[in-house]
Amino acid sequence: MEPQVFEGTAREIRTRLAAIPDDERVRVMVGRPGLSLVARKLQGTAAANGMTDAIHDALLQSLKHDR
């Protein structure tokens, strides 16, 4: 099965999940992602694209000092 993201009401999600075979592995997130989860994903993406600790520290300093 191809990875998919479902978004909707609980009723809509239950309906879509009912069509998935019982032995299929799924991952479920309920609610909205917290800011820390979003930050971790962005940090991982930045690191994968070459952001080093030094670049990260400089960026945070510039944000703190509004430069």
More confident residue, 31 or 13: 13
Of residues 33, 29, 36, 32, the one with CA closest to residue 13:
29
pLDDT digit string, tens, across residues 17-66: 999 999 999 888 777 777 777 778 888 888 899 988 888 888 888 888 86
Of residues 45, 49, 48, 6, the one with CA closest to residue 29:
6
Q: How far apart are CA 6 and CA 29, in angstroms?
A: 10
**Which residue type is seen at 27?**
R
What one-character DSSP code corresponds to residue 22? Answer: T
